[in-house]
Structure 1
Amino acid sequence: MTKEVGQPSGPRPGFRSSGGGTHEVPGAALSYVEKGRGLPLLILGSAVYYPRTFPASLHGSCRLIFVDLRHFAGKLDTGRVAITLETYCEDIEAMRSRLGLERFVLVGHSHHGNVALAYAKRYPHRVSHLVLIGTPPCDVRGTLEAGHRYWLTHASSARKAVLACNQARLDEAALAELPPGEMFVARYVADGPRIWYDPHYDAAPLWQGVPIDTEAFTAFRDFFVDYEFNWRLEDLSAPVLVVMGRHDYVVPPTLWESRLPDLPPVTYRLFEQSGHTPQLEEPEAFARLLLEWLGRDEP
C-alpha cells in the first residue's frame, strides 16, 4: 500500500502542450497532445482533461501522449456512425498508426481502463505494459451497487454531509436548461465527496474546454451494461498495474480485492489519501510507483 499525503492541485495555470494535433475518424476529430520525452505512454480519454491530472515529474522519463476518445472529442457531421467498443479500439489503432508507435505503455483511467484492456486484448503485440487507474473490474450494475455499499459503510458523516449540501444546492430546473454536457459536469462536480479524497475539491476547472459528445457518451456507457472483465495470459502477456484510491466511492477498491484471486497476476497498489484519481491526488507517489514499475529512473 502507498501512503503519502497529497491534495489535488487542479490544472496547472497556463498549461501548454509541447506537441499535438488532430486525427479524423468517421464521425469524430480525435485530438492528441504530447508532453515529455522517453518511454511512450498512450493515455486514453481526453487530450484536454487528462494532461491536467498527470504529474509533470513524469516528463523527464516518459513521452506522455494524451488522446481523445469519441465521447470527449469534436464531432464531425459525416452522418450517423455506429459506435461500439470495437469502434473505439479501431480509433486507438488509427491513432497509434498516426503517431508511429510500435509498442507502448497503455494507460486508462476509470472506464477508459476498460477500453484500454479491450484494445490490449485485440492488439497484444502493441502493448508492452497496461496501467489501469480507478478502473471497474465488472459491469455498471456491479460497480454502482458496490459503490453504494462502500459509501454507506466507509464514508464519514462529515463527508456525507458535504455531499448532501452539494446536492441541495443543485437547482434541478436550472440544470434542465443546460446543454447535456454542462449538466453532466455540474452533477460530476457536485458528486465530489464520492470522487475525491478532499470532499471539498472543486473539479470544475479540470473540465474547462473539454468537448462532450453526448450521443457517443451514451454509447460509451452502454458498453459496460453487459460487460465481462477478464483476460487470459495466453492472449495478453503484458504486465498489468492496477492503481486504486482508498476514498474512491465511485469505483471502490473492494471491487478489485474481491476479483484479484480470479484474475491473472497483477501489481495492485492502493493509495490511502486518494479517491478516484490518484495520479492527481498523490502525484509524486504515483510517479514514483509508475516509474519503478516500468523500470525507469525515479523523478
Structure 2
Amino acid sequence: MISNQTKGTVVVDGFSLDYCMEGRGIPTLIIGSNRFYARAFSKELREHLQLIFMDHRGFVAPPEEPLENSAYALDILLQDIEALRRHLNLEQFLIVGHSGHAFMALEYAKKFPQHVLGSVMIGVSPDYSEAMHQATDAFFETTASAERKDLYAKNMAKLPGLIQAKPEKRFVDYCLCAGPRNWFQYDFDAAALWEGVETNMQMIDYVWGKVFRDIDITKDLDKLEKPVLLALGKYDYVTGPPSLWDKVVPVFKHIQVELFEESAHYPQFEQPAEFDEKLLAWAIENKLIDN
C-alpha cells in the first residue's frame, strides 16, 4: 500500500499554491494543477516514487485585481518551485513537467542543478512559437482521420458560446473542446480530470502566449549535466510531431527520447504501464533510484 496523502499550501506573494504528496520513494515533483495531475499519473507509479503535485500561479483563483505581467515571469515561477522545495526540506528530487510545464521543469534544473536528480519532459515541443503551431496544424491536417477532424470542428464551433457564458473557464473549456487533438482516443471525455481545477487566465494567457512562445530552451543546455527524459506521444496534435525535436535533441548532453505509439498529448495517462516502465527504467539506468 502507498503512504497516506499529505496536503499543504505554500503562500508566495499572496498566491496560495496547494500541493499534495502521495507514494513512497525518491521525491518526484510534478508541476501544474495538483488536482489535474494527481489524476493523470497512475496509482502504480506511487509504489515506486513519492509524487508531489504542485499548483503554480496559473492554477489558483485569480487575484481580485490584475497584476503586472512581471508577476508571472518565468524566473518568478521557478522561485515558487524553490519555495516549495524549501518548505518541504527537499534536498534532491526528480522534477516532471507536462506540456508547457516541461519548460518549467527544464529551466528549474538549469537554475538549481544542485537539487535536481533529473528532469522529465512530457508532451511538449521545443517552444510554442508560431512556426510550431503551423507545423502542428499541418501534422493534424495530413495525418488525422476524417472522424477526428469532424469531431474537432464540431467541438470548436461550440467554444465561443462556452467562453461567452463563462469566460473565466475558457482554458478548461478550450482543452475539453480540443479533445480530438489531445487524446489518442479522439472522443475521450476528459471532464473528470479537470473537475474543480481553478484557472488564473492572466497568468495562462501571458505565460503560454508570450513566455513559452519566445523561450529558447537551448540556452545554457551545455551546462546541464543532469539527465533528461523526453516522453512524446506519436499522435500529439497539441504540440506537434516528434520531428520538431530533431534539431534540438543533439544539443542536450544527456537525453533519452521515448515515443509512445498509442498516445497523443498525454502518454502518462494513455499508456500508463508503458510510461511507468520507461520512466523507472530511465531512472534506474541513470542511478537516480535503486533497482
What TM-score do the two structures reach when normalised by structure 2? Answer: 0.90
**Could you say which residue in structure 2 is the equivalent of 1:230?**
218
Unaligned runs of 5+ in 1: 1-15
Q: Is the 8 A contact 2:225 2:253 kept in 1?
A: no
**Could you say which residue in structure 2 is the equivalent of 1:153?**
142
Aligned-CA RMSD value: 2.1
| Aligned partner of residue 113 in structure 2, secondary structure | coil
User: Structure 2 CA distance, aligned partners of 1:28 and 1:128?
Assistant: 27
| Aligned partner of residue 211 in structure 1, secondary structure | coil
1:217 is the counterpart of 2:204: yes
Unaligned runs of 5+ in 2: none
Q: Which amino acid aligns with 2:228?
A: V
The structure 1 residue matched to 2:23, chosen from 32, 36, 44, is 36
Q: Are residues 265 and 129 of structure 1, via their aligned partners in 2, closer, same or farther at CA, if it must alter by over 3 Å?
A: closer
The structure 2 residue matched to 1:269, chosen from 234, 258, 263, is 258
The structure 2 residue matched to 1:101, chosen from 80, 87, 90, is 90
Q: Are residues 124 and 186 of structure 1, via their aligned partners in 2, closer, same or farther at CA, if it must alter by over 3 Å?
A: same
Q: State the identity as a percent.
A: 37
In the TM superposition, residue 76 of structure 1 has moved relative to its aligned partner by: 5.3
**Could you say which residue in structure 2 is the equivalent of 1:64?**
51
Q: Is the 8 A contact 2:171 2:201 kept in 1?
A: no
| 1:106-150 superposed Cα distances (whole Å, 9 cap, x missing partner) | 000001000111111111111111000012212432321121111
**Could you say which residue in structure 2 is the equivalent of 1:190?**
177
Question: When the two structures are aligned, how many residues end up with a matched partner?
Answer: 281
Q: Are residues 284 and 79 of structure 1, via their aligned partners in 2, closer, same or farther at CA, if it must alter by over 3 Å?
A: same
Return structure 1 stretches of 4+ with deviation > 4 angstroms.
75-79, 231-234
**Could you say which residue in structure 2 is the equivalent of 1:114?**
103
**Greater RCO, CA 8 A, separation 6+:** 1
1:246 is the counterpart of 2:228: no
User: Structure 2 CA distance, aligned partners of 1:289 and 1:245?
Assistant: 13
Further displaced range: 73-82 or 257-266: 73-82
User: Structure 2 CA distance, aligned partners of 1:31 and 1:103?
Assistant: 20
User: Structure 2 CA distance, aligned partners of 1:283 and 1:158?
Assistant: 25
**Could you say which residue in structure 1 is the equivalent of 2:72?**
83
What TM-score do the two structures reach when normalised by structure 1? Answer: 0.88
**Could you say which residue in structure 2 is the equivalent of 1:175?**
163
Q: Are residues 173 and 38 of structure 1, via their aligned partners in 2, closer, same or farther at CA, if it must alter by over 3 Å?
A: closer
